[in-house]
Chains A and B, each alone.
Chain A
């Protein structure tokens, strides 16, 4: 362990810019670096992604390792794990952080076992123990009903971090950093998966994860028609529509708008939960909202324990009247 130095984040690029989760990871890494007197590096893997390096430095990286190779164009476990393993062994970081994303959860879990260490997934808090200097990792378990704190004696210490759990630092384009290019040196024959097709569900309007107002519906909406009303309300509020899992499972709305533990993590200023009971797994995705507004006919529904304001009653009566009044008051 004496040789392990620095905090490395595994960055992700999204349409040739640094993904927001990666900015959050850099923010978390800078905090840990301050506690440990250490350096922050970012590992960027992909094809045609070198442009992301400068952005990573702006958001807090002291050093960026770039592995740019046509074989790394799509995320493929074998290729990315081998690449991350190579760089990790070369750099020997003390901490490796990845995002709890499609890529991060697949990559980090396998990489940890490849590196003979442990990883804690989906963390919402990372601190350094004052005496041991080990990471103390807090993660929700039991669907969000509980939290657990984990540590490990093994290095590198690894974690994936939940979206929106950490804050990025203010970007500073004057920051200086070093960019190191690493050759992938991959054997194409050792990559055992192929991405044949990518299917993207088009959602018009504001992205759910970025919206400052989210209107979400649950099983109690009863079918796709009701969601049209929620969509209209979301539009008037210049927000986005979300859903709990049952409407997604039933095909009333696209799977991609599921909010929760295994769906999107949102933290809008206002989250309007309509006919959603407030299961721990749903709250896992919206509990970070600044204000939850609950509309539910069951006064005992758990969602009222999470909400700041609530109305008890039938959404079929409440939503149209609420929408009309909002239009009137806001002049929209």
Chain B
């Protein structure tokens, strides 16, 4: 099995909400000091999905990431978990795209990689919360897709995917090659091993520039956008909490019940 996993470096989505700031002049997020970026969590689960298939069937896993200022410690994490190679599309021309121009560059890089049975993405990146890049890559490459997977196995040359639904899941069989997006229901991604960390240290990422993957310059990054972002802002919270107290916790609890009945919430 040849597998490709698309991973994105993002601001840590679990940083405390109070540390989240936007610069209104640039419509950009101000990274909180001292909180390093991470790989978008669902993308780590996508790496885990690929590793489980590699464990069962063998194969090669290529990691693909587009961005600038990619911290090697961050983007090498999949290598330390057991992936085989890391390819970076690292160039200012690639960035500030929308899902379409990002997917176009990723798809062109995937064509250059050539051989693949499964492409994995996260169900959505934790910054855009869009969940579109996977579908766009599949559309550009003309391959089938299954989104929001909780389990992926390969059986008889097809992938068998448990796809999360609102009230459970369904088992979907898909012809290969295919693109599959992965959700947290898959389970915790594995930790890096010491051996993995050592071998990841020695592996240098392969860096591709626009010319290396034969993209049309007008179709990548900010120039290739189909949608424009007019504004990025933080919603204002107007609520003010009333803390119910009492002589002790039990008493406070009883006072809360009284209060909720009094204001007719219960």
Q: Is the CB of B13 within 8 A of A322?
A: no
Question: Hey, which chain A residues are within 8 Å of B132, CB to CB?
Answer: 109, 112, 119, 121
Q: A118-B100, A309-B256, A318-B249 are in contact. Are A148 and B231 (CB under 8 A)?
A: yes
Q: A255-B164, A302-B16 are in contact. Are A118 and B129 (CB under 8 A)?
A: no
Question: Hey, which chain B residues are within 8 Å of A280, CB to CB?
Answer: 17, 20
The answer for the CA separation of A262 and B45 in the assembled complex, in Å, is 15
Partner of B136, one of A101, A113, A256, A320: A113
The reply to whether the CB of B26 lies closer than 8 angstroms to some CB of chain A is no
Min Cβ gap B146→A in Å is: 6
Q: Is the CB of B172 within 8 A of A193?
A: yes
Min Cβ gap A48→B in Å is: 18
Question: Hey, which chain A residues are within 8 Å of B185, CB to CB?
Answer: 248-249, 255
Q: Which of B57-65, B193-201, B209-217, B234-242 contacts A (4 or more CB under 8 A)?
A: B234-242
Question: Hey, which chain A residues are within 8 Å of B150, CB to CB?
Answer: 255
Q: A193-B174, A279-B17 are in contact. Are A118 and B227 (CB under 8 A)?
A: yes
Partner of A143, one of B129, B173, B242, B265: B129
The reply to whether the CB of B25 lies closer than 8 angstroms to some CB of chain A is no
Question: Hey, which chain A residues are within 8 Å of B56, CB to CB?
Answer: none
Q: Which of A57-65, A150-158, A166-174 contacts B (4 or more CB under 8 A)?
A: A150-158
The answer for the CA separation of A193 and B245 in the assembled complex, in Å, is 57
Q: Is the CB of B172 within 8 A of A141?
A: no
Partner of B253, one of A118, A150, A151, A317: A317
Q: Which of B72-80, B81-89, B111-119, B137-145 contacts A (4 or more CB under 8 A)?
A: B137-145
The answer for the CA separation of A194 and B172 in the assembled complex, in Å, is 6
The reply to whether the CB of B71 lies closer than 8 angstroms to some CB of chain A is no
Q: Is the CB of B145 within 8 A of A77?
A: yes
The reply to whether the CB of B102 lies closer than 8 angstroms to some CB of chain A is no
Q: Is the CB of A105 within 8 A of B131?
A: yes
Min Cβ gap A142→B in Å is: 6
The answer for the CA separation of A294 and B139 in the assembled complex, in Å, is 45
Q: Is the CB of B256 within 8 A of A311?
A: yes
Q: Which residues between 217 and 266 of chain B lie within 8 Å of chain A, taking CB atoms?
A: 226-235, 237, 239, 241-245, 248-254, 256-261, 265-266
The answer for the CA separation of A195 and B144 in the assembled complex, in Å, is 14
Q: Which residues between 88 and 121 of chain A lie within 8 Å of chain B, taking CB atoms?
A: 101-102, 105-106, 109-110, 112-114, 117-121
The reply to whether the CB of A128 lies closer than 8 angstroms to some CB of chain B is no
Question: CB-defined interface of A137-148 with B at 8 Å, one 1/0 digit per residue?
Answer: 001111101111
Partner of A195, one of B127, B170, B259: B170
Q: Is the CB of B243 within 8 A of A310?
A: yes
Q: A311-B252, A321-B250 are in contact. Are A261 and B172 (CB under 8 A)?
A: no
Partner of A118, one of B98, B146, B230: B98
Question: Hey, which chain B residues are within 8 Å of A152, CB to CB?
Answer: 226-228
Min Cβ gap A278→B in Å is: 8
Question: Hey, which chain B residues are within 8 Å of A139, CB to CB?
Answer: 129
Partner of A305, one of B20, B129, B135, B239: B239
Q: Which residues between 274 and 314 of chain A lie within 8 Å of chain B, taking CB atoms?
A: 278-281, 291, 293-294, 299, 302, 304-314
Q: Is the CB of B261 within 8 A of A330?
A: yes
Number of interface residues of B (CB under 8 A): 86
The answer for the CA separation of A77 and B142 in the assembled complex, in Å, is 12
Question: Hey, which chain A residues are within 8 Å of B2, CB to CB?
Answer: none
Min Cβ gap A317→B in Å is: 4
Partner of A329, one of B123, B160, B226, B257: B257
For the complex of A and B, the 7 pairs showing the least CB-CB separation, nearest first, are A325-B257, A321-B253, A192-B144, A109-B135, A118-B226, A321-B250, A313-B249
- Taking A198-B171, A249-B188 as given, write out 16 further A-B residue pairs in contact, using a Cβ cutoff of 8 Å, ordered by the A residue number: A102-B166, A109-B99, A113-B136, A141-B128, A141-B232, A142-B129, A192-B175, A194-B173, A213-B266, A255-B164, A264-B166, A278-B17, A317-B253, A321-B249, A324-B254, A329-B266
Binding site for B on A (CB under 8 A): 74, 77-78, 101-102, 105-106, 109-110, 112-114, 117-122, 136, 139-143, 145-152, 154, 192-201, 203, 213, 237, 245, 248-249, 255-256, 261-262, 264, 269-270, 278-281, 291, 293-294, 299, 302, 304-314, 317-322, 324-326, 329-330
Question: Would you give 25 A-B contacts (Cβ < 8 Å), ordered by A?
Answer: A109-B134, A110-B145, A121-B129, A122-B129, A139-B129, A142-B126, A146-B20, A146-B22, A193-B172, A194-B172, A195-B172, A196-B170, A249-B188, A255-B164, A261-B129, A293-B260, A307-B241, A309-B260, A311-B244, A311-B256, A320-B253, A321-B254, A322-B256, A329-B258, A330-B261
